Amino acid sequence: MNQPFVLALLRNPRQIGAVVPSSQSLARAMAIAAAPSGKRILEIGPGTGAITKALLAEGASPEQLCLLERDDRLAAYLTRKFPGVRVINGDARSITDTIQPKAHSYFDIVISSLPLLNVKEADKIVILEQIFSLLDQQGLLVQYTYSAKAPISPSLANRFGVKGERTAMIFRNLPPASVWKYRYFSYRDFQN
């Protein structure tokens, strides 16, 4: 088992939100859903970097990839593991304070490994407000969940003006997971 993951899990099991790191199958499905080549990407909760590695393998540029990891030891581990990738030690509830994006400097993609269904509703709203404020209008949130339910409820998706779709089911993950993409509504969405 991955030693940095086990140590982080022992330090704070509720913060990790998983009993094992993401499988290669899940990481690859997340990267494929993101289509990262040439995109500005923020990955939230990268853990030990399974999805980060898959994003780089799918063509993400290290210079355009930013990782936000809450656990300080995992953040240090990621800095060593992925030289050239910007790693920030911070909390998802204060993303915009931590990252401080420049004016009109949005992300094309946010990849989230946060256990959104386990997050308190008030914190979830704060996190999602910040995520969607960092995405440009053609931006994409890619999120996975271990639940059969969508990681963002239909009412919350509507509140943020986004539409979600399940893009993959990964049965070769422990536990099985599904990958969801969220985009802002387009004019075509209102015609259906």
What's the pLDDT at 72?
Answer: 95
Share of the chain above pLDDT 70, in %: 83
Contacts 24+ apart (CB under 8 A), 114-123: 114/17, 114/44, 114/45, 114/143, 115/17, 115/18, 115/145, 116/143, 116/145, 116/151, 116/152, 117/145, 117/147, 117/149, 117/151, 118/14, 118/17, 123/93
For residue 111, what are the CA distances in angstroms to 1, 79, 191?
Answer: 24, 18, 29
Topology classification of domain 3-191: Rossmann fold (3.40.50)
75 or 186: which leads in pLDDT: 75
Domain ranges for the chain, please list them.
Answer: 3-191
How many of the other CB atoms lie within 10 Å of CB of 36?
Answer: 26
What's the pLDDT at 174?
Answer: 85
Report d(CA 88, CA 67) in Å as an integer.
Answer: 6
The 10s digit of each residue's pLDDT in 137-189 is 899 999 999 999 999 999 999 999 999 999 999 998 889 999 999 999 874 45
What's the pLDDT at 39?
Answer: 96
Sequence letter at residue 24? Q
**pLDDT over 70 (residue 49):** yes
**pLDDT over 90 (residue 102):** no
Counting every residue, how long is the chain?
192
Range 71-89 average pLDDT? 97
Report d(CA 95, CA 134) in Å as an integer.
Answer: 9
What's the pLDDT at 190?
Answer: 42
What's the pLDDT at 9?
Answer: 41
101 or 162: which leads in pLDDT: 162
Range 13-35 average pLDDT? 77
Q: What pTM did the predictor assign?
A: 0.85
